[in-house]
Every structure is written in structure tokens, then in C-alpha cells.
Structure 1
């Protein structure tokens, strides 16, 4: 039976469309790979040759290991084309050691070039700690910041173990070696010892704030009972310098360094070290939802040490 000419034309047209969409799909995949590769090059520490500012985002809980980011900040400080930094903080805090390491990296950068901090909804505890070396700190009126203090928690499940008939024998080399223990109640001596550790870490935190904000130590201590402050409160207390956002921070940096108002701002980011599929997935999610959200979804967790500087509402 003869083939209907219209049907033949339709089939040819459908085949052409299928070929087009297959080519488009392959091209999109290749472009995604190229885009991921480009991001990797940018995030590996390569800096533009022309003058620019760098933006460092610290969002979410601050972990203990920030070596890659610290290396990038140190490299940026030594790169002539980098004229300053915008440190964008939106964090409730986290690890004391991680916060200290980032604080010191920001301080090293600030000793060479200006740093302006912009605070988002949260810049508390260790999030405030990493902000204080900056020459200028901006926050919006509703920012929650401050919460200067240190927490160390020791869960005790010994009561539960007693109920289920489980006994744990603990052999230690000294009375303080087993303090704290999740299977034994904290002894009075252990509590005193750990309180001394917390007090010393707190003293270090207070000193960082006093040095960074050019305030007397005793003045900082009166503000450092762990409470958070709104941006408006923090301004009146001297914990920040100005109510404003990134536009204000960039304007301050360009004015301070006599730079053009059109100077570009380049994000300073760290590679995840994950495989190509992880990078492609993150790139695709980043296009749809934003890069920070994609990073949070795909992250494998945050490493924290024993003592934390974090705001816990």
C-alpha cells in the first residue's frame, strides 16, 4: 500500500526535531562540563590580573577545618591585583578553633589591605569573632550579632544505662583523663577543670574583640554574657560601625583605597574536591536555587571540636 505523503513528511520533520534535541542535549552537557571546569579554575586560587575586590562568604556553622579557605585568603592578601575584601558573614558561629583560625586569617589580610564585613541575618559568636579584625563592620538593623561566649557540653547517659542494666568500667591514667565521660557522671573536680578551660577560651575571645574593636577589655566583658544584639543595638554599643549592606561596604572600600566605583568584586571560593558528577549536580542546582543552597544540600556535614562559640536560641 502506498505511503501517505503527508505522513512521510511528518515523520521526516519529527526525525529532524529528535536530531536537533539530541545535539542540544549533548551541547548542554559539554557546556556544563566546561562551566564546572571554569569554576574549578577560578576557585583554585587564580586571581584576575586587573584590580578587583574579593568577596568571601562564610555562611552556616563554622567548622574546625577551614584550611583551604584560609590558604586562599592568605594568597589574596599577597596578590597585588586584590585591593580589598568584603567578608559576608551569615553564621550562628561554630567551632572555637575554626573561628580562631579564620579570625587570624582575616587579621593577616587586614594588616595589608582593608576589610569590610557585611552581616546578614546572623553573625553571632564565632561568626562575630571572625568579623572583628575588619576595619569596618556593617550590619542591617535586624542582624543578630554578638553572643560573645563559649559552650562546652558533656552528655551523660549513665542514668539510662543503669535502667537497662548496663555497667561500663572506665580505666583512666589520671582522675581528669575521663572527664567528661558519656557513661559516667561529671565529678566536681572534672566540672571545675572544664570550667577553667571554658573560662580561658572565653578570655581569648574577649581579647580578640577588645583588640579588633579597640575597646577596653573590661568594657567587652560587660557585653559578653552570651546574649545576642540586634544590629541597631550593636551599633550603639560599638560592636559594629555602621548600618548598611554590601553596597555601603563596597563604597567604603573604594573611597578608602581611592578606587573606581566600578571595580569588580570576585567571589573567593574553595573547591569541594568531589567528583565530576558531584560538581555537575552542584552546578545545576546552583543555577536553579543558588550556589550557597546547593552547597548546603550537598555538604557532608561540618566538623566541630569540643568547645563551640555558637548562638543557640
Structure 2
């Protein structure tokens, strides 16, 4: 009888523990879903304006492009605010972002709000919007395309290293850092740069309703303050998000009091464990969030800052 009573008591304790684990799992999943929705992972089921942040180096980001497609198809999104703070990035990435925003703009009004820097590819992103707002001290412009390489031949010769190569034609894998650049390589590279630059200028001409001569004069690679950009027709208005909302109200009858909600791309690396960590952090505080980050790894995707190929990026001399 004593053994049966002990066994029964153990079973009851096991059932209670199982119940608590199950309840905890349900609560955790619910919290994770709340975080996904509140962070823009899923469309909110209420009318709002979507804020899309374009920051750091711009690369060809298909998850960001998929998010823009979702925004375009979500009837609850009434307008889009592009919050841009970027020195630019790859020309291909800027082109892909531009095209994705223009496709979105066919369904929703889009206004760009420029932060500290919106230059080169960052300005291409701004051109994709229907209206551009900048602070007076915003750094923008830098209309141009860049291709750089390092020349290592002299340094290698000093340490006794020589690079040998066999290739199918003189222009293959050129320009190279391991030998002096042939004039034919310079000419071919310049042609490539010119093609991309002409594309950039066409965007300025078309999107800013500007004649080609003015676009070329302004598009000599220099940067402008927000004040200068407005004066030269590269930006529409001075101000911040409040000015952007006022424009949406005046031009598209969007209520200025409509909630503005951040949308973020859903990167696969986040995973369920990452969402759980973020949910627990929101629920129980920053200290626990730090602990769960250690267990689950990074909870936010960091873009690869690879700048292979042509770049449209502002790189001030240091």
C-alpha cells in the first residue's frame, strides 16, 4: 500500500509539472506572435501608415523587397513613409530597391524622409518616393557611380612577391591589384561607369522633372545640405516626419492622426528561437533579453556589407 501511494503521488507531481510546461509553452508562443505583429512581421489588421527604414549600406535584399510587396498588397496600409539614413551602397542594390518602391507607389502614396545622410544610393532610394522631405542639415546628393581597386604591385615587389597569371584575354579579371593597369582596362571600366551614371542621371531627370543639363550640373558627385537640395530642386521640402504626414494629408487625404507603424523584413535567420527570445525580453525585461540572446544567438539579421561590383556610395575622405 505504501508503494502504491508513493507511486500515485509521483504521478500527480509529474502531471502538475507537465501542465505547467504546456501552459508555459502556450504563453511563450502567444508572446512570440504578439512580437511578430507589433514589430511589423505580420500586417496589422487596422488602418495605418507604414514606416520603412532604409539605413546603413544598401544591398540587393530580397527579404526587404518581399516586405514591400506585402505592404503594397495590404489594404490596411494607407501610405508609406521611407525613413532614409544611408550613404548608399551597391548600384544593383539601389536599383532593386528603387524598382520595388516604384511598384509599391503604384498602389500607395510614398513619401521619403531623409535623416542624417541620404547620399548616392540613399538618394536613389529617395527618388523612388513621390515626395522628398529633408532636414536642413541632411547630407544628400552625391549623384554618381564608383569603382575602386587597390594597386599592390609596388608593395609586393618590395617583399619579393610576384603574381603570375594565365588568362583567356587581356581584359579578363581586370582591373587587377597585382600589376599596373593597362589603358584599355581604364577605358573599358570608364565605359561601364558611364553607363550606370547615365542611368542615375535619367532617374534624376525623370523623378525631379529636371532638364538634362541641370541634372548633369548638379550630378557632379558633390553632396548638398538639405537647404541646398531644396534650392536646387533635388528635395521638395524641409522638415521631418510631421511635414511628410502633412503632405500625405494635403495631397492624398490621409488622416494625419493615422497610426504610423514600423515594418521590418522577416529574415529567416531569426527563427522561432530568436522570436521566443525577443518575446521573453519584451515580457520580462532587458536583463532577461540579454540572457536569452546569449542562448539563442543574434535575434536580428545583419546584412552582409559586401560591396563587390559598382557602388553608388558616399565615401568622404578621412
Q: TM-score range by the shorter chain?
A: 0.7 to 0.9
Provide the residue aligned with 2:90 in structure 1.
95
Among 19, 36, 40, the residue aligned to 1:40: 36
Instruction: Note closer, same or farther for the CA distance 1:146–1:197 as it changes in structure 2 (3 Å cut).
Output: same
* Separation in structure 1 between the aligned mates of residue 71 and residue 311 of structure 2, nearest angstrom: 28
In the TM superposition, what is the alpha-carbon distance from 1:41 to its structure 2 partner?
4.8
Distance 1:296 1:164 in 2: 45
Q: Deviations over 1:106-165 (max 9, x none)?
A: 111222221111000100000000111212100010000001011100112122221121
- More divergent stretch after superposition (276-285 vs 248-257): 276-285
1:139–1:44 Cα change, 3 Å: closer
TM-score, normalised with respect to structure 1: 0.81
SS of 2:57's equivalent? Answer: coil
Counterpart-to-counterpart distance in 2, 1:57 and 1:187: 42
CA distance in 1, matches of 2:299, 2:228: 30
Alignment partner, residue 143 of structure 2: 148
Q: Distance in 2 between matches of 1:245 and 1:69?
A: 23
Counterpart of 2:250 in structure 1 is 255
**Counterpart-to-counterpart distance in 2, 1:155 and 1:30:** 56
Quote how far apart the aligned CAs of 1:55 are: 0.7
User: In structure 2, how many angstroms separate the alpha carbons of the residues matched to 1:242 and 1:186?
Assistant: 45
Seen in structure 2, the aligned counterparts of structure 1 residues 47 and 308 have a Cα distance that, compared at 3 Å, is: same
Residue 282 of structure 1 deviates from its aligned partner by: 6.6
Contact 2:277 2:299 in 1 (8 A): no
Please state how far the C-alpha of 1:272 moved relative to its aligned partner.
3.0
Corresponding residue SS for 1:197: helix
Unaligned runs of 5+ in 2: 1-19, 287-297
Aligned to 2:314: 311
User: Match of 1:167?
Assistant: 162
In the TM superposition, what are the counterparts of 1:63-142 in structure 2 within 5 Å? 63=59, 65-142=60-137
SS in 2 for 1:38: helix
Query: 2:240 pairs with 245, 263, 278, which one?
Result: 245
Taking the aligned partners of 2:215 and 2:87, their CA distance within structure 1 comes to 19
Equivalent pair of 2:37/2:43 in contact (CA under 8 Å): no
What are the Cα deviations for residues 147-200 of structure 1, in whole angstroms up to 9, with x where unaligned? 101110011212222112122211111111131112222111101100111111
Q: What is the Cα-based RMSD across aligned positions, in Å?
A: 2.7
CA displacement 1:185-229 (0-9 Å, x = unmatched): 211110110011111111111111111111112211100111100
Match of 1:50 among 34, 46, 50: 46
Per-residue deviation, 1:266: 1.6
Matching of residue 189 in structure 1 with residue 184 in structure 2: yes
CA contact (8 A) 1:282 1:298 kept: no
Unaligned runs of 5+ in 1: 1-22, 289-294
**Are the counterparts in 1 of residues 41 and 266 from structure 2 also a CA contact under 8 Å?**
no
* Distance change in 2, residues 1:176/1:50 (3 Å): same
* 3-state SS, counterpart of residue 89 of structure 1: strand
Matched, 1:226 2:229: no
